[in-house]
Amino acid sequence: MNTFELDPLQVRHAFGRAARGYERHDALQREVQARLLERLDYYEGSPELVVDVGSGTGRGTAALRKRWRKARVIAMDIALPMLRAARRHAGLLNPFARVCADARALPLPDQSVDVLHANLCVQWCGPPQPLFEEFARVLKPGGFLAASSLGPDTLKELRAAWAEADDMHPHVSAFLDIHDLGDAAFAAGLREPVLDVDRIVTRYDAPRDLLHELKGLGVTNADAQRVKGLTGKARFARMLQAYEQTRRDGKISATWEVVELHAWGAAAFIPRRRPGTRGRAAFPPELLRKP
């Protein structure tokens, strides 16, 4: 597992700054959103409470509200400016609540949520197991989780270009592998996790166009070990030159590895594997019944 340390304040600030113009750059997010909404077809119930974690400007939240008219739908995001921008999607005919909260500490009671939706926010929440444990805590037994995350091949071209310009410090955030996410979901007690991975390639006239899009999306280098000063002009120019060497058919490319996951809320009691138990489950003795 990649163990880089996430800087949550950097994440919050980057998305806060991007909120006003976010929807001018979110074509990828909308594509992944459409795929994630298809996974909701597996859930056949009539939810009472639906929560969109990492809701951003609320496009996905509005789609959830339209899908389940009778449900209470909540948009949650760590960046308050994103929730302010989401107001435009929460009209009188399509209302939803907006709550500023950290996905790792949801202000929700245990086993209170029927459907949890988290589009491309998992990668900004640090180690996945505590996050999935929080998801498992708030999901009702039989509740449904649909989530997506960025995988390690995301922005591999930009990462390689920066490595040629500066091999001492990270300039692109690291992202978790599908196996890390699957293991974390299972260890957290989520039932029957199913994961798929896909790669989407976007093309640009120049590297600066990609960088402009990343800034507009709030996609930031959130590694706590990143260099926090200004990048030197010479180093930045070397990165651009290295990226230019990848140009094909007049365009430069950027790869986005997208991991999609769905899983079910556990029963009231969740057997957990403990480190070093080699598959043995720990459970309270009162669950043992005499024949």
Range with the poorest average pLDDT among 40-44, 74-78, 170-174, 199-203: 170-174
pLDDT tens for each residue of 117-127: 999 999 999 99
Total number of domains in the chain: 1
Q: State the chain's mean pLDDT as an integer.
A: 88
User: Could you tell me if residue 233 is inside a domain?
Assistant: no
User: Could you tell me if residue 219 is inside a domain?
Assistant: no
Q: Is the pLDDT of residue 8 over 50?
A: yes
User: Could you tell me if residue 68 is inside a domain?
Assistant: yes
User: Could you tell me if residue 30 is inside a domain?
Assistant: yes
Q: For residue 216, which of 47, 56, 84 has the smallest C-alpha distance? A: 56
Q: Is the pLDDT of residue 44 over 90?
A: yes
Strands (E), the chain: 49-53, 72-77, 97-100, 113-118, 139-150, 191-204, 252-264, 272-273, 281-282
User: Could you tell me if residue 42 is inside a domain?
Assistant: yes
The pLDDT > 70 percentage for the chain reads: 87
Mean pLDDT of 100-116: 97
Q: Quick one: angle between helices 233-244 and 156-165, nearest 10?
A: 130
Q: Is 134 exposed, middle or buried (0-12, 13-18, 19+ CB in 10 A)?
A: buried
Quote the tokens at residue 17: 């700054």
- pLDDT score, position 233: 86
Mean pLDDT of 66-84: 96
- pLDDT score, position 289: 42
For residue 255, CA distances in Å to 6, 34, 165, 203, 219 come to 22, 19, 20, 9, 14
User: Could you tell me if residue 143 is inside a domain?
Assistant: yes
Q: Is the pLDDT of residue 276 over 60?
A: no
User: Could you tell me if residue 90 is inside a domain?
Assistant: yes
- pLDDT score, position 179: 94
* Residue 252 near residue 246, CB atoms below 8 Å: yes
Domain span holding position 105? 8-154+174-202+256-269
User: Could you tell me if residue 144 is inside a domain?
Assistant: yes
pLDDT tens for each residue of 205-235: 999 999 999 999 999 876 656 655 556 789 8
CATH number assigned to the domain comprising residue 90: 3.40.50.150
